[in-house]
Amino acid sequence: MKSVIPPALLAALSLAGCAPGDVMIANTYYAPEYDYGEFHAATDGRNFQVILAGNPFPQMSDAEMKRQLLPILEANKPPSNLTFTYAAPPERPRPYYRAVLVFDAANDLTAARICANEIRHKPRDVGRPIDVFGIYCRNGLALSQTEVWTAATRPDDPRVAQVFALLFVVLFNDSPAMRWRSNPFFNP
């Protein structure tokens, strides 16, 4: 399947002040069912669950890492008027939308497995770049996925914000080219 990288990605790279090698994105895929309008309708004005799996900062506890990352996620969220939360909804919604961000995902871990709640990690090497596998799930279906790397070593490194800004631009792609995929009668 061919990936559609949004033009906004290039703009985000230049606005974020990325130098070559600071942040890398790859392995982007959109399911045929992906529709940004569906994402916007499901999240606009609502809480949206983000599941963090793994800890890219071994020098801090999981709780502290999550506490420090939440404002960074919020500052770089997609254009929908949503609020990121780690809390699971009190009652599972139907459909159940969520973003899953897996740090150091096992090499054979797929987006489909992650949306089915199977998460495994490769061992964390101190010198290895931060590796985030991001998946947007609807129930057990992976609607979009991408992977992002950076050499940042702590949450307050500006490259961590760049990672999430770029990850969200790609994961929640609102490009006209994506609207064309789901609606061949759409004429931008």
| Least confident window among 104-108, 154-158, 184-188 | 184-188
What's the pLDDT at 22? 81
Non-local CB neighbours of 120 within 8 Å, separated by 6+ positions? 105, 106, 109
Look at residue 74 and tell me if it is in a domain: yes
Q: Per DSSP, what are the bridge partners of residue 137? A: 98, 142
Residue % of the chain over a pLDDT of 70: 82
pTM of the complete model: 0.84
Q: How many separate domains does the chain show?
A: 1
Look at residue 25 and tell me if it is in a domain: yes
What's the pLDDT at 52? 97
Look at residue 102 and tell me if it is in a domain: yes
What's the pLDDT at 28? 94
Look at residue 187 and tell me if it is in a domain: no
| C-alpha to C-alpha distance for 66 and 54, rounded to whole angstroms | 10
Look at residue 18 and tell me if it is in a domain: yes
What's the pLDDT at 179? 59
Residue 183: band (very low, low, confident or very high) from pLDDT cuts 50, 70, 90: low
pLDDT, tens digit, 9 for 90 and up, residues 45-87:
999 999 999 999 988 999 999 999 999 999 999 888 999 999 9
| C-alpha to C-alpha distance for 65 and 71, rounded to whole angstroms | 11
Look at residue 57 and tell me if it is in a domain: yes
Contact indicator for 69, 130 with CB cutoff of 8 Å:
no
Q: In Å, how far are 109, 143, 172 from 115, measured between CA atoms?
A: 11, 9, 16
pLDDT, tens digit, 9 for 90 and up, residues 7-55:
444 444 444 444 445 888 999 999 999 999 999 999 999 999 999 999 9
Residue 1 has pLDDT above 50, yes or no: no
CATH code of the domain in which 149 resides: 3.30.160
Look at residue 188 and tell me if it is in a domain: no
The domain in which residue 113 lies consists of 7-182
Look at residue 1 and tell me if it is in a domain: no
